[in-house]
Chains A and B, each alone.
Chain A
Amino acid sequence: EQLLNPAARKLAEESGLNPAELKGTGKGGRVTKEDVLNAIEAKKSA
């Protein structure tokens, strides 16, 4: 299962992103808030 930092989990839910589809750059593949912010940017420009 995908490991998300707390703020990343909240932001993912707020932006309707599926946590399982997020790519984590943190230690051990952990998804950081920065990763979610980048995913939101990518979704916007897609």
Chain B
Amino acid sequence: MSEKFDVVVIGAGPGGYVAAIRAAQLGLKTACIEKYKGKDDKLALGGTCLNVGCIPSKALLDSSWKYHEAKDSFNVHGITTGEVSMDVSAMIGRKDQIVKNLTGGVGGLLKANGVTVYQGHGKLLSGKQVEITKEDGSTEVLAAENVILASGSRPVEIPPAPVDQNIIVDSTGALEFQAVPKRLGVIGAGVIGLELGSVWSRLGAEVTVIEALDKFLPAADEQLSKEALKIYTKQGLKVLLGARVTASEVNGEEVTVKFTDAKGDQEITFDKLIVAVGRRPVTTDLLAADSGVTLDERGYVYVDDHCATSVPGVYAIGDVVRGLMLAHKASEEGVVVAERIAGHKAQMNYDLIPSVIYTHPEAAWVGKNEQQLKTEGVDVKVGVFPFAASGRAMAANDTAGFVKVIACAKSDRVLGVHVIGPSAAELVQQGAIAMEFGTSAEDLGMMVFAHPTMSEAMKEAALAVNGQAIHVANRKKR
């Protein structure tokens, strides 16, 4: 007789573990299945985000930024040091410890909430039965009233540059270099490529980012992506746009990448090459042939607006379904699904999911960008405030970038907030909160912001929307 659960979650990433915790909080008997093993060869919860994604990359971004500051800008403050050096294995070790603490923490949270964790590979059979294949090959079948598929995603591999996790690596391998590569190539100028490129560039690597698209950060506001490219280039990232990789050849400890761009066929030799062209959904052995769950044409599990699949009682969330591949998107879908299973009418606002690139300066945005609104024929007003005019930013010696607020010309309602600069993610979140409450640019401008803070740049940008900024000359009315 198989054990019966109200909810069985396949996957313990930010979507799955959050869904399991929320379901358990709502009184549902919940199980969560995960197979991923960490560096110590033991079950590691938390998924891509905690183990080989968000958290480790931020750990390395913060360490490498501190090194960069100590080396290049402490003198601005009158601080002199001896030679500043980076022990790469110590930096990686610190990252590993953070990952271990957090993944252990997830285990503790699941336990505290009464979620039963199964180690193994979960597969959906027909009739809402879930088969767990354990490491020793034995199987166990759970019966479930509801199933949540949260199997996540994996890096896209490209035939011209097959990953060997030595010379040619994916994002996971790029978090494990034991020394700074002298010449580093990155294929893909997306969020992952830019963050990983930044880490190793700050530590002294000569970084070239090869991007097939002609446009840099096409999902971002054009003004922001232009500024970002300018800043990254100044920091030493060489970004080649419209460059399509055709082949690569590994020779001993180096790799030569061949690509074609506007100038014709070219090649560059690197010591390490990171392939970061995107991620794709993982559904490998997830669904029995008669499970009844359908995939869409791009390989994602097909779901409706509330993450319900084609099978009643079976849901799918996170990277394995449509939408932005972001941890906070997956988690919120997990919460919404758990609450809907419990009979609540939970809703999620897909229009207000913030995006963040954790370079320095950070880049972040929420809502619509100027070119999208133009395409949609919406008449807008724009307010921009540069951090160069922020007292707080000057004190921090961190003045690159700006805050941009876009509002509807007619109603003054804020439609998008785009920030590149210090604490961009936090500022954008302030914008998202205000937008959730239907803010106008005037509302934001009328609020009292503490002085001196980076947040004031948000108030000033909101004031600038209606030509009322105090600390920057306002654009003349057209």
Contacts and interface: CB of A to CB of B under 8 A. Distances in A.
Contact of B437 (A10, A27, A34): A27
Contacts of A32: 413, 437-440
Interface in A1-45: 5-8, 10, 25-27, 30, 32-34, 37
B446 A33 contact: no
Contact of B412 (A25, A26, A30, A33): A33
A10 B413 contact: no
Given A5-B443, A6-B446, A7-B442, A37 B411 contact: yes
* Interface size band for A: 10 to 19
A18 to B, nearest CB: 20
A30 B436 CA distance: 11
B439 A5 contact: yes
Nearest to B410: A37
**Chain A binding surface SS class:** helix
Q: Which of B408, B436, B442 has the most CB of A within 10 A?
A: B442
A6 B447 contact: yes
Contacts of A27: 436-438
B65 to A, nearest CB: 37
A20 B439 CA distance: 19
Contact of B411 (A6, A26, A30, A34): A34
Contacts of B439: 5, 32
Nearest to A35: B438
A25 B437 CA distance: 10
Nearest to B445: A7
A34 B446 contact: no
B443 A6 contact: yes
A33 B440 contact: yes
A7 B413 CA distance: 11
Interface in B378-426: 408, 410-413
A3 B85 CA distance: 56
A40 B272 CA distance: 64
Nearest to A10: B446
Nearest to A37: B411
A7 B446 contact: yes
Contacts of A34: 408, 411-413, 438, 440
B443 A7 contact: yes
A25 B411 CA distance: 13
A33 B410 CA distance: 11
Contacts of B410: 37
B324 to A, nearest CB: 22
Contacts of A37: 410-412
Interface of A: 5-8, 10, 25-27, 30, 32-34, 37
Given A6-B443, A33-B413, A34-B408, 13 more contacts: A6-B442, A6-B446, A7-B412, A27-B436, A27-B438, A30-B438, A32-B437, A32-B439, A32-B440, A33-B440, A33-B443, A34-B412, A34-B413
15 contacts: A5-B437, A6-B442, A6-B443, A7-B412, A7-B440, A25-B438, A26-B437, A26-B438, A27-B438, A33-B411, A33-B412, A33-B440, A33-B442, A34-B413, A37-B410
